[in-house]
Each structure stands twice: as structure tokens, then as C-alpha cells.
Structure 1
Amino acid sequence: MAGAEGEPIAAAEGEAARLSTRERPLGAPGRPMDRRSPFFVGPFGALGVGVAYGLFQVLVTANHVLVLIGLSAFLAIGLNPAVEWLIRRRFPRWAAVLVVLFAVLVVVGGFIAAAIPPLVSQATTFAGQLPRWWQDLQNHSSLLGRLNDRFHLQDRLTSLVSGDAGSLLQGVIGAGQIVLGAVASMVTVVVLTIYFLADMPRIRRTIYRMVPHSRRPRVILIGDEIFSRIGGYLLGNLITSLIAGLATFAWTEATGIPYPVLLSLFVAIMDLIPVVGSTIAGLVVTLVALTVSPPLALATGGYIIAYRVAEDHLLVPKIIDRTVRVPAVTTIVAFVVGGALLGVIGAFIAIPVAAVIGLLLNEVFFPKLDRG
């Protein structure tokens, strides 16, 4: 029995010795496994499910970091046309990146420089008004006094400051954490944008090398068009925002509305947010004009509405629609969905993302469906 059991192994050993050659000491590979076998489909299917679940957990855990990375890549792609324009003017890439970043920092620094003096002035005025407001709280004939009698504002303020110090401290710590988190996110986006912008050619080549050689030329054409549309959207948005800021400055300076530089920079930055940004900015400018006089506030509101109509029907079609080419209905739907998913960041990138999806549908999916 033992000899009979050893014969198959002996035969296999003899065959192994015959297959082993000097060129192939371990023999030639055998036939591939039958991929339809349940012993192949079952383990690899379970492995695929496990990998998919692990990737899903990674996305859920690192969603904040991934959003920052995506925003940085979007900003880098949007700023890249300006860098390429400087490179065509014989600038080295590192110098072109520095020039573009310096221009962005000048705008942000100008807003901060314009915002600090009025903020300090308003804070000083507010601090000077506190003693009078405290006296009005105790005066039963004043508006604040009547509100205090009805809602017990003075007692609530006193308990907030003295009686519930732990909750107040926790609130201060929570606010500090929010501020630090926002600053850390901004620094992360700035640093990643610089690296993406400086290394954009190599990133582009790496992305295209991941595509099979036979399909690479077509993917390059579509990919470069996607980069062009994203860059055109950001550049066009910057141009329309600059025009909105200049129009606001001209109106506030001519009518005597306070803080014209601060308001114009605020309008220019808020105008970068589609649909609601300019509306919020216009409401703020109108409220500031109300501190001067109600007729001026009405005139300011009319001016803002007139400019908004001109921007939507003249500037946006000529500047943005020609580069992004997204229908109006798609723009609104993309803005609502992007804002619901990612907030302000989602609203900001919604239109170019919709343009990319539309391009892929028209160039890849719809032709396949038409042929089918």
C-alpha cells in the first residue's frame, strides 16, 4: 500500500526533474486558474468586498482631509493658466508660481488691512456704549428696560458671567478650537496648493501614464480640456468679482457710504460664491447704507439689483459661460447639490464639476449609448 501511495508523488517528482532546466530552474508556468471556478470567485470576491469596505471607512474617516486636498488641487488647476501665461513670457516655473501667489496674497492682505481699522473703531465705539446700555437696562421706560423686564436680560447676563463660569469657559475653548481648526485648514490648503502648482507638469504626466497607451492620446485631449475649463471658470470668476468690487467702490465712494474699500473687497470676495454670495454682500452694503439714511439704503439696494441683473445677463455669459459652457438649470442644480454636500466649498466647485461631468457625458458615455 505504501508503495502504491508513493507512486503519484514519485511520478510528479520525475516530471519536476524533467521540467527543471538551466534556463528555467523552477519550470515554466502552468495554465492559469479557471476564473469561473467557485474556489477562485469566492475568495477573491470576499477579498474585493473587504477592500471596498476598507476604502469606504478610509473615505469616511479622512473626509475632511480629502476635501482639503481636493480643494487645493482645484485651486492649483485654476491658477495654473496664469502660471503658464507667465512661463510663456520666459519666467521660470518657480518664479511664475511665486508671482501668482504674491498677487493672491496682496488681495487677501489688502482686505485684512482695510478691515482692521474699521473693526477697531467699531469695537471701541461698542465698548464706549456698554455703560449707557447697562443703564438703559435698568431704566424701565427705555426699550432695553422694557425688554429686560420681559425677558430678564440683566439676570441672564449676570448668571452667564458669574454663575456658570464652567459653561462659559467651555464655550470659549470651543470657539478657540474652531478658530484654530479653520486656521490650520487654511494653512494646509495654501501649502498644498503651492506644491500642486509647482509640480503640476509632473502630476499631469503621472495621471496620463496611468492610462493604457492605446487610449492615452484621447484621454490627454479630454483631460487638458477639463483642466482648461476649471482654469477658465476660476479666472472668469475672479474677473467678475473684481468688476463687482470696483462697481461697489465707485458707488460707496460717490454716495458717502462709510468704509468703501472694506465693502468693495467684501463684495469681491463674496461674489466668488455662486448665486448667494453677491446677494449676501449686497444686503450687507445696503444695511451699512441704512446707517447713513433710509433713502440712501433704498437707492443702494436698487443699484445692487441693477448691477446683479447686468452681471447675470452681460458679464457672466461673456466671461464664464464661454469657458465653462454649463446650462443655467445645470448651474442651479449643481450649486444646490454641492452646497448640501460640502457647504461653501461644495457651492464654489459645483459649477466646474458639473462642466466636467457634462464633458464626460458628451464625449464618452453618450457616443457609446448612441452606438449601442
Structure 2
Amino acid sequence: MDRRKIKDIFCYGMTLAGVFLIFIFALLILYGLYSLRNTLISVLFPFLASFIIAYLLNPLLEFVCQKNISRSVGIFIIYLAFFLTLVLLSINVIPSLMGEMQKLLVKVPMYSSQIQQFIVEMQQDYHRFNLPDSIRSVIDTNIDQFQGLILDLLEGFTETVINLFSHIILLVLIPLLVFYILKDLENIKRFIYKMIPHKYRGRVRAAAEDIDKTLGAYVRGQIFISIFVAGMVYVGLLVLGVEFALLLAIINGVTNVIPYFGPIIGAVPAFFIALLESPLLALKVILMITIVQQVESHVLTPTVFGKNLGLHPVIVILSLLAGGSFFGLLGLIFAVPVVAVIKVLFKHLRKNKFI
């Protein structure tokens, strides 16, 4: 074997070893991030929320600044409008929501007792039949597991509400962070672009504008549709006389941003609250939410979006499963936008022959 061939083999071996080490290093970083995900989310949440809010408010700020108004004054006008809206909400909506949450926390033990009584009645009903012991044992086990699941869900909801109020101080930072991000957004963009080599700057700018066009339309459209769904569900629950109508409507609006599974997740709490009142009321609630979702999916969504993100349903479902597994509810909400951004990036990388 000549020296040139030995040198080539050595180079290939070193390259493979380097790629392998980089892969292992990347896996270790991902594992470390996954291990610290709860801490990272709690620390980065104010900054992430501030960037998202600033991103959503920037088009409104640009519109205000077209009237020869400085960005600082424009931000003040937006904050003033937001403050007045918050005052109006505080008069009616927020006290009602707080009252419903307090009432729900008080009623959680009663609901738990009702569920346990329902399970006991189920056990008594099927014990009347002469079933084999093996089948009866399986049914008993599944009923016990179902009971534990319901109780865990109720306790988890209570803990979530308590944790939300315990971290309310962090939310004070968000308006301050949003102000500075909006005020210096152009400087932030220029700083980022200056870090990119000049020959790639135009391509990166084109990709960023494409991402902004795709993501901005999706996020703002989803917010508008979610507000519509929450409003319609709230009116429907009020008409049907379901307790906690405002809280349940907000849950429906928030979960509606999750494709495919969101409407189902949002309907579950309303269904169970109505079921504890009467099976007929639960059926009416499901029928009402189904009608709202049909209007949303067949009328409102095509009008707002015009066209979807171009993601295959399989990709959407896989991204939801991955996002939900790693980051819970936040993962479910942000999974599809993140995948949409990745798709746009890949499109520009292929267009510029990087891959």
C-alpha cells in the first residue's frame, strides 16, 4: 500500500472521527438542555414572551410611526391604549375570571367526590352481571386507573393555577422588556446583520423577510381566530347555563392554536363540567363547540389565512408530538410555527445551494 493511499485513509478516518465527536457533543448539549428545560423555561420565559409580544406589536407601531410620530411616543400610545383596555377588562372580565377560578378551586373536592361516586356506581352496575373473575379483575384495575387519572388531572389543574399566581411578579418585567425591544428593534436588526458576512447578508435578509411574512401572518391570524372561538364558546356556554363559562371559553381559545388536537383538548373541561350537571347538558355543550369549530375551520380560517403553511399533516402531527413531549403545552403551541420557520430556512438554503 503506497503512502498516498495511507494518507487518504488517515484523512477519511480523522474526518469520520471529527464528525462523530461533533455528533456526540451535539447530543450532550441537547441532553443538557433537555435536563434543564424547566429551569430554562422559567428563566427565559419573560424574555421569550417579551420578544413575541414585541414582534406582534411591531406592525401596529410601524403604522403609528407613519404619522410622523417617534417610536418612543408610538410605544407610549400603544401602552396607553393597552392600559385603557386593561382598565375596562378589570371592571368586568378580570373580576369575573378571578371569581370563577376561586369558585372552581372550592368546588374541586366536590367534583372529585362526584366522580368517585360515579365510578362506584359503575362498579356496582357491572358487578350485577356474572362475569368471569379475570374480566372483572381487568375492569376493576382500569376503573381504579381512571379514577387516579381524573384525580391527578384535578390536582394538576389546581397546582397550575397556584403556580401561575406565584410567578406573577415575573410578568412585571415583560412590559419593560417589550418597551426596550420595540424602541431599539431596528438597531437590534442592524447589529445582527452586521455579524453576518457581507456576501451572505442579502440572502439572510431575504430569508428573514420570508420568515416574517409566513410566521407573522400565521401568528396574528391564529390570535384573531382564537379570540373569535373564545367569544363564541363563551356566548354558547352562557346560553346553555354552564358554570365557569368565561374560564372554559378562555381555555378553548388558548388550546385552539394547537392544530387538530386543540379543539378536543379545549372541549374536555367544558364537557366534564357539564356532565357533572347532566348528560343532556354535556351533549348540548359538545354540539355547540362542534358548530363553533365548523364555522372556524370552514369559514373563518380560509378567510384569514387564505392558504395554510404548506406543511403535510403527518409533519404537523409529528411536530406536535415532539413539542408536547419535550415542552408540554408551550411545545404544543409553538411546535407548528417553529417547523414552519425551519421549512422556510431549508427552502432558502436549497435555493442558495447550501444543501
TM-score (norm 1): 0.61
Corresponding residue of 2:206: 221
AA in 1 matched with 2:47: I
CA distance in 2 between partners of 1:256 and 1:66 (Å): 40
- Where 1:368 maps in the other structure, the secondary structure is coil
Please identify, of 212-221 and 352-361, the stretch whose mean Cα deviation from structure 2 is larger: 212-221
Q: CA deviation at 1:193?
A: 3.6
State the Cα distance separating 1:177 from its structure 2 match: 9.9
Structure 1 partner of 2:147: none
- Offset of 1:273 from its aligned partner? 4.3
Q: Is the 1:74–1:230 Cα contact (8 Å) retained in structure 2?
A: no
Report what 1:69 is aligned to: 47
- Please state how far the C-alpha of 1:111 moved relative to its aligned partner: 5.0
* Change over 3 Å in CA distance of 1:362–1:261 after alignment to 2: same
Q: Check whether the contact 1:273–1:344 (CA below 8 A) recurs between aligned residues.
A: no
Distance 1:217 1:119 in 2: 51
Asked whether the equivalents of residues 324 and 355 of structure 1 are also in contact (C-alpha less than 8 Å), the reply is yes
Q: How does 1:168-247 map to 2 (within 5 A)?
A: 178=163, 182-247=167-232
More divergent stretch after superposition (332-341 vs 90-99): 90-99
Contact persistence 1:81–1:231 (CA under 8 A) = no
Residue 254 of structure 2 is aligned to residue 283 of structure 1: no
Whole-Å separation in 2 of the counterparts to 1:300 and 1:312: 18
Q: Which residue does 1:93 correspond to in 2?
A: 71
Separation in 2 of the partners of 1:75 and 1:289? Answer: 35
Q: Give the gaps of 5 or more residues in structure 2.
A: 1-13, 114-119, 125-158
- Give the counterpart of 2:97 among 102, 107, 115: 115
1:304: how far off?
1.2
- 1:356 pairs with 2:341: yes
1:72 shift after superposition: 3.5
* Shift in alpha-carbon separation, 1:71–1:332, aligned structure 2, 3 A: farther
Amino acid of the structure 2 residue aligned with 1:63: L
**CA distance in 1: counterparts of 2:160 and 2:271, whole angstroms:** 29
Residue deviations 1:168-226 (CA, integer Å, cap 9, x gap): xxxxxx99995676335544555434432332221111111112222222221211222
Could you tell me how far 1:120 is from its partner in structure 2? 4.5
Aligned to 1:103: 82
Further displaced range: 196-205 or 93-102: 93-102
C-alpha separation in 2, matches of 1:347 and 1:333: 11
- How far residue 282 of structure 1 moved from its aligned partner, in angstroms, is 1.6
Q: Does 1:82 align with 2:60?
A: yes
8 Å contact 2:240–2:285 — kept in the other structure?
no
Greater relative contact order (Cα < 8 A, sep 6+): 2
Worse overlay, 179-188 or 308-317: 179-188
Match of 2:250 in 1: 265
- Structure 1 SS opposite 2:204: helix
Specify whether residues 179 and 121 from structure 1 end up closer, same or farther in structure 2 by C-alpha distance, changes over 3 A only: closer
> Do the aligned residues in 1 keep the contact of 2:104 with 2:244 (CA within 8 Å)?
no
Q: Superposed, which structure 2 residues align to 1:4-19 within 5 Å?
A: none
Match of 1:302 among 287, 291, 307: 287
Kindly provide the CA deviation profile for residues 260-316 of structure 1, in whole angstroms up to 9, marking residues without a partner as x.
Answer: 444333432333444444323222222333355322220210221233244334433
Spell out the pairing of 1:328-339 with structure 2 (5 A cutoff). Answer: 328-339=313-324
Deviations 1:99-123 (A, max 9, x none): 5555397398565322123344556
**Selected match of 2:241 from 246, 251, 256:** 256
Contact 2:72 2:183 in 1 (8 A): yes
Q: Distance in 1 between matches of 2:211 and 2:294?
A: 29
The 1:348/1:119 distance shift into structure 2, 3 A limit, reads closer
d(CA) in 1 for partners of 2:262, 2:94: 19
* AA matched with 2:40: N
Measure how far apart 1:347 and its partner are: 2.0
Instruction: Provide the aligned C-alpha RMSD in A.
Output: 4.3
Corresponding residue to 1:342 among 327, 332, 354: 327
User: How far apart are 1:338 and its partner, in Å?
Assistant: 1.8
- Separation in structure 1 between the aligned mates of residue 228 and residue 49 of structure 2, nearest angstrom: 24
Stretch moving more, 66-75 or 229-238: 66-75
Verify the 8 A CA contact 2:50 2:178 in the aligned structure 1. yes
Alpha-carbon distance in 1 for matches of 2:164, 2:235? 34
Q: Distance in 2 between matches of 1:122 and 1:329?
A: 37
In 2: Cα distance, 1:175 partner to 1:238 partner: 23
Higher mean alpha-carbon deviation, 239-248 vs 99-108, is at 99-108
1:78–1:233 contact (8 Å) kept in structure 2: no
Q: Aligned partners of 1:211, 1:125: CA distance in 2, in Å?
A: 57
> Counterpart of 1:322 in 2: which secondary structure?
coil
Q: Percent identity, aligned pairs only?
A: 23
TM-superposed CA distance for 1:359, in Å, is: 0.8
In 2: Cα distance, 1:177 partner to 1:311 partner: 32
8 Å Cα contact 1:78/1:230 also seen in 2:
no
